[in-house]
């Protein structure tokens, strides 16, 4: 009969270890401070938008950050990454303002996918460009760093 070993704990340990390593690796490439700051903007959008134009200007964001300077999490984010850089990362359409949808990457997903679908319909001969453009747009939408965008684009380009 032999000795039976319960592999469940061993498997869970290996999976947890792998997950931790992957999290550490990807955090090098993702702008996590930007994602957290976007979440802060989303939660406080209406109170930050002082002129009620449904767009956050850099001045409104800076004023809100200054007002909430006692917020330790916010202070840490701003200390780690410049406010201007985070603003630019969140302003994915490069309009100079941040719309509510830009604070919620999942809110932009359907538009990105619809654009890729339309691109495939219009240019069914060149899927590689569509795949690369989709990858770049998704990376930008989810505030990926330039290193992550480059790696992802290279991988997709090699696969297609």
Q: How confident is the model at residue 10 (pLDDT cuts 50, 70, 90)?
A: low
**Three-class SS of residue 30?**
strand
pLDDT of residue 41: 93
pLDDT of residue 82: 83
Distance CA 90, CA 37 (A): 9
Residue 84: which residues within 8 A CB-CB, separation 6 or more?
A: 58
**pLDDT of 156 higher than 60:** yes
> CA-CA distances (angstroms) from residue 150 to 24, 38, 141?
19, 22, 14
Q: What pTM did the predictor assign?
A: 0.67
- Per-residue pLDDT tens for 80-133? 678 888 888 899 889 999 999 999 888 888 888 888 888 888 876 778 888 888
Mean predicted confidence (pLDDT) in 22-46: 77
**pLDDT of 23 higher than 60:** no
Distance CA 65, CA 75 (A): 8
Q: DSSP character for 70?
A: T
Domains (ranges, CATH) in the chain? Answer: 32-103 (1.10.238), 106-159 (no CATH)
Torsion of CA 89, 90, 96, 98, to 10 degrees: -170
Termini Cα distance of the chain: 51
Q: What is the mean pLDDT of the chain?
A: 81
Distance CA 104, CA 109 (A): 9
């Amino acid at each position: 009969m032999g000795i039976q070993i319960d592999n469940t704990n061993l498997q869970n340990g290996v999976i947890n270890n792998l997950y931790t390593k992957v999290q550490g690796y990807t955090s090098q490439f993702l702008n996590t401070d930007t994602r957290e700051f976007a979440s802060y903007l989303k939660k406080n959008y209406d109170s930050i938008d002082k002129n009620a134009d449904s767009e956050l200007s850099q001045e409104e964001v800076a004023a809100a950050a200054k007002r909430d300077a006692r917020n330790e999490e916010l202070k840490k984010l701003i200390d780690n990454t410049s406010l201007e850089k985070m603003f630019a990362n969140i302003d994915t359409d490069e309009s100079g303002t941040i719309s509510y949808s830009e604070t919620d990457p999942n809110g932009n997903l359907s538009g990105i996918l619809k654009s890729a679908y339309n691109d495939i319909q219009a240019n069914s001969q060149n899927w590689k460009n569509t795949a690369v453009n989709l990858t770049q747009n998704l990376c930008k939408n989810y505030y990926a760093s330039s290193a992550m965008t480059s790696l992802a684009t290279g991988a997709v380009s090699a696969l297609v």
